[in-house]
Structure 1
Amino acid sequence: MTLKMTPHSVCSKSCGLGFMKIPQEGQPSCCFHCILCPERGITNETDSDQCMECPQSEYPNMERNRCLPKTVTFLAYQDPLGMALACTSLCFSVITAMVLWVFVKYRDSAIVKANNRTLSYVLLLSLLFCFLCSLLFIGHPNTVTCILSNISFAVIFTVAVSTVLAKTITVILAFMILRPGRIMRQLLVSGVVNSVVPICSLIQLIICGIWLGTSPPFIDIDSSSEPRSIIVECNKGSVSAFYCVLGYLGFLALGAFSLAY
């Protein structure tokens, strides 16, 4: 009995793991090129005709033969930047608290009274919370911290800037009180200037309420910016509302600067 052998010939070596076959134009099917899989592709078998794409939460290894899980990254307290920001925030908070303690201890002195004791307390307290609210931007973000960090930033900074505006108006009235007339004196003595702070803060609260009612901040997962990392961050939600908040803060700051000038 005679056995017939079927000849088998190839003109290209087999493509290993991580490579895919590309046929050579005008050549038999056994002739092909082996090319490395693209950035997000892998192959886990030899002589593969196409590469498989890794899921969004994974990335291919250097050999392009398996997918590895991405690391979740965010601004953590253990990071050098997070640690530096946290230490800076706490240091300035302690300094502000010490200044506030001095103002409270010597509240009956002429200097404290001349600086409008109530507005000075409000300004120092708002500055203290301004430094502390920056801690909300550090650590693993969640829905609560995303909302609190943005809203507290807007409202507390508004209180601080509006307090500076009120103190500036107080100085202007103090200079204008020398002119004839009792209106300026009544405005200065009655404490109407102190109402600038709650009015300005209420306007910012209304803007923040509209922000929360339309498109509040939320957790955003960015898996495309870094090839081996998943970035967890807070999305501002409504960009228009966010810029309205910043614009209102800029308007108050510009008003206080213009009056002081």
Structure 2
Amino acid sequence: MTKKLCSILFLCLFFASCKKDGGNAASKADRIAGIKSSVFHHIYQYDGQNRLTGIDYGISSKMKAEYSPSGIVLQWYDGANNPTAYRIEMNVVDGRVTDAIETNDNFSIQHDYNYDSEGRMQQAQATKRNAQNNQTVNKGESKFTWNGSLLSKVVLQVWDANGAKTDSIIWDISYYENKKYFTWEDMGFSFFGKAPIGGFPNGFGFRLPLLFLSEGMIPSAAAMKSGTRKSYYRHNGQWQLTNGNSEYPETLYGYDAQGRLNKWGDIEINWK
């Protein structure tokens, strides 16, 4: 797969669709053991309750997850197993993340999520602040439209520190029928209801919602077929429109004898 295609795929949306039982437990037995390509190899660890407990990103970085009845803490470590400044603290109510604080040396980001009665995420908000003076850098909000268990539209808006709108982006998504991808439950972390996770552009300084798994591999309810995007950007006081369209051929997806996704482009997915 070319670097250009990888970049396009990484920036496009993929989505999670999972059921939650009560408490911070994961019920499904199948688990992804690792994801790798020619440039990375990420290994996943789980506890006796099939919950994700860590991701080994390579020799220089890893993440460990700690669970309590009221929430989850994700802490990143360097190659010498020393904790870094990067950390995510999540509050969990009725098996769903309701809000989270993401911190690093230079910033903090407050995330807030709302769900409907069917467990589908309706809205995600993020406010990024400077870690030194706690001043707001920018804010983002995404709203989601669903077609059953599949997300059909995302509207993202971004405001600067002064409250002026700087960006407005609309995604429309289509999927293959009867073609699986993999879900957050397959990775032991189904705490976002039925939710789209990640895939938003980097330029805003945050992602809505959180993204912390593997580059280019975002859990999804089904295999994506195509995506279209309309982007409105504020430039020199004027709004400018750009359009984009991405197609995802069936040859991108491969499956093992159990029907589980084991190939996505040049990325290999291994299962426990």
TM-score by length of 2: 0.22
Q: Which has the higher strand share?
A: 2
Mark the structure with the bigger radius of gyration.
Answer: 1
TM-score by length of 1: 0.22
Q: Which has the higher helix share?
A: 1
Q: Which has the higher contact order (CA 8 A, sep 6+)?
A: 2
